[in-house]
Structure 1
Amino acid sequence: MLITDGYRAQQAKLHENPNYGVASVQFAPLVSQLINQFGVRQLLDYGAGKGRLAQNLKPAHEVKVTLYDPAIPQWSVLPGPHEMVACIDVLEHIEPDCLDDVLDHLAGLVQRLGFFTVHTGPAIKVLPDGRNAHLTQQPARWWLPKLLDRFDLMMFQKTEQGFWVLVAPLGNK
């Protein structure tokens, strides 16, 4: 299961806040650089929120961007595999009981590259039920084995609030 109905409702309510779902803007230049470097023509924004990544990309060539977010009705249709998948400030929001399923889902969607960011501490925002919006607050050493079970690591970078990784499907060179 990727998300429970109750949590989908919590996320939909939280997305009403105009300042929720803005982390992708700061990563848009890096994602644009990766798109250009690897000649990516097809990008899935997994957990797209308000679609701000797509709005802020500046690739040097045409890129078809697909948005997926289970809490946004118009973007809630399950996507198929894509050449590149960006999952920015999403994984720490996933319900702990659903996290392995979401990571498995991502593994089935990434054809060439995955760009994932993880914030490892508490969020500023809280869910309508009072929980911190970051349901999983774990250090990189906790996250990396989960990612490496499903992907080949191409790059790892610590950030002020967590880390990002560039990954490829297992077995790809």
Structure 2
Amino acid sequence: MDTDLQTAEQAKYETMWRHDDYRRFSPGLYALEHLDLVGCFRKLGVRSILDAGCGSGKFMQRILEQHASEFTIRGFDIAKNCLDPWFAGREDELLTTGCLWEAGALPGPNDAVVCTDVMEHIPTEKVPAVLANLRTAATKAVFLGIALFPDSFGPRVPAPAHRPSSPGGVDRWRPPASKPFPRQSRNMPILHSPLAVSARPTCRARPDPDLTRAAPRHACSGRSSPIVDRRRARGLRPRQLHSSP
């Protein structure tokens, strides 16, 4: 049953967030620092951001500390204890808890939805529902950052978080790129990058060979830059950042 699955997933991640080691690296913050997400969001006219699967909240913290005059931001996560101590006293204001695949769970509307190191955690059968919910929650853009390697912390719990061998896990997102999201609206840029490498996207108009009809006005493409996990990611190339009408 869905309720049983949600309860199990919530318990798993609330257990993980009790460990300080799980908080040390933030894929969302890494993406913010190494990709020109702020620049892309500016060009797209983004003002409000939802961090879906926000985890420790380091992405939100950086936006609030350095870009509060430009963007409002809030987080969504399945674990009630996910946020870092920096957010103490502001949890009710900045965090909504729930399940990503539950219809209507994501707060909105938001100009942009950011979702880093999340899709490889999603149970296979729930991936389409999560993608649809992310699109519904955004009006201008969605950013996906997807890890292409097994997680190192999960086995210590033990509860592996990344799902490397399932269609909903790591292998699903390896090049060649999977098809763009189900098309719900026109002119919705979908920016995505494997977290095994970093890329420097530049928002610009370009044709998208994966789409059979005209591409929207904005898209992003990436160039190789340093590898995050050199042992696991050596040889991987950054995936082009696709857009979906």
The TM-score normalised by the length of structure 2 is 0.58
Once residues 103 and 61 of structure 1 are traced to their aligned partners in structure 2, the CA distance between those partners, rounded to angstroms, is 29
61, 64, 77: which one aligns with 1:69: 77
What residue is the counterpart of 1:137 in the other structure? Answer: 170
Among 16, 21, 29, the residue aligned to 1:25 = 29
1:41: how far off?
0.8
Overall identity of the aligned pairs, in %: 20
Whether the aligned pair in 1 keeps the contact of 2:49 and 2:74 (CA below 8 Å) is yes
Distance in 1 between residues matched to 2:240 and 2:12, nearest whole Å: 28
2:140 to 95, 108, 112: 112
Between the two structures, name the one with larger relative contact order (CA 8 Å, sep ≥ 6).
Answer: 1
Q: Does structure 2 retain, via aligned residues, the 8 Å contact 1:10–1:128?
A: no
Distance in 2 between residues matched to 1:156 and 1:72, nearest whole Å = 35
Amino acid at match of 1:33: G
Instruction: Report the more deviating stretch, 154-163 or 79-88.
Output: 154-163
Amino acid at match of 2:175: R
Q: Which runs of 5+ in 2 are unaligned?
A: 82-94, 99-104, 164-168, 191-218, 228-232
Gaps of 5+ in 1: none
Separation in 1, partners of 2:149, 2:45: 33
Flag the 1:33–1:127 CA change in 2: closer, same or farther, 3 A.
farther
Deviations, residues 59-79 of structure 1 (Å, cap 9, x unaligned): 384311011112226530531
CA spacing shift, 1:167–1:109, aligned 2, 3 Å: farther
In structure 1, the residue matched to 2:46 is 40
Displacement of 1:100: 1.6
Alpha-carbon distance between aligned partners in 2 of 1:34 and 1:152, rounded to the nearest angstrom: 10
2:101 equivalent to 1:93: no
Q: How many residue pairs were aligned?
A: 169
Larger displacement relative to structure 2 (155-164 or 123-132): 155-164
In the alignment, is residue 155 of structure 1 matched against residue 183 of structure 2? no
> Which has the higher Rg, Structure 1 or Structure 2?
2
Alignment-mate amino acid for residue 21 of structure 2: N
TM (norm. structure 1) is: 0.79
The code of the aligned residue for 2:125 comes to D
Task: Give the whole-Å Cα distance in 1 for the aligned partners of 2:221 and 2:137.
Answer: 20
Contact kept in structure 1, 2:120 and 2:147, CA below 8 Å: yes
CA RMSD after TM alignment: 3.0
Matched letter for residue 54 of structure 2? A
